[in-house]
Structure formats: C-alpha cells, structure tokens
Amino acid sequence: MMQIVAFDRGTYWEVIADYSGSPRHAALIEPVWKAEYANSPSYTAMRASQPGAVAMIGPVGVGKWLKDWSGPYVPA
C-alpha cells in the first residue's frame, strides 16, 4: 500500500502525490500519515496549494482511479 495525497472527486479518486518511495513514509500507518500531513510544517505549501486534498493509504499511485481502485478512471 502507498502513502498518497488525493482528492475525492465523487465518482473517482484523483491521486496527486505518492510518498511511498520514501522508506520513512512507507513505514507509516494511516493514522500517523494523516496526522503528519495535516500538521507538519513540511506540508504547509502543499496543503495551501491543494485545499481539500487528504492523506490516505491506497493501493496505487498518482492518477485518476475508480473508487474501488479496480482500475483507472476514464470519463464517459
């Protein structure tokens, strides 16, 4: 699973950042990762430039994904 930052777009997830390549990030469990993203000064600029984005752990990295993560989201 990957430590990501994403937007909930209603019918799909839009993952805008993937931190799972970092061994330190990869070791974080979801509540710790969410708290770090929400509170750490390291992410201040990202939080300001991407309002509404949330930190989570998901199975895939950057891109637009179906809500069940089964594949890429393709607009109709």
Q: pLDDT for 19-76, tens place per residue?
A: 999 999 999 999 999 999 999 999 999 999 999 999 999 999 999 999 999 999 999 8
Q: Please give the pLDDT value at position 38.
A: 97
CB proximity list for 18: less than 8 A, separation 6 or greater: 2, 3, 4, 61, 62
d(CA 62, CA 54): 13
Record the pTM: 0.92
Count CB-CB contacts under 10 A for residue 4: 26
CA distances from 14 to 11, 31, 44, 47, 73 (A): 10, 20, 20, 15, 9
Q: Where are the domains of the chain?
A: 2-66
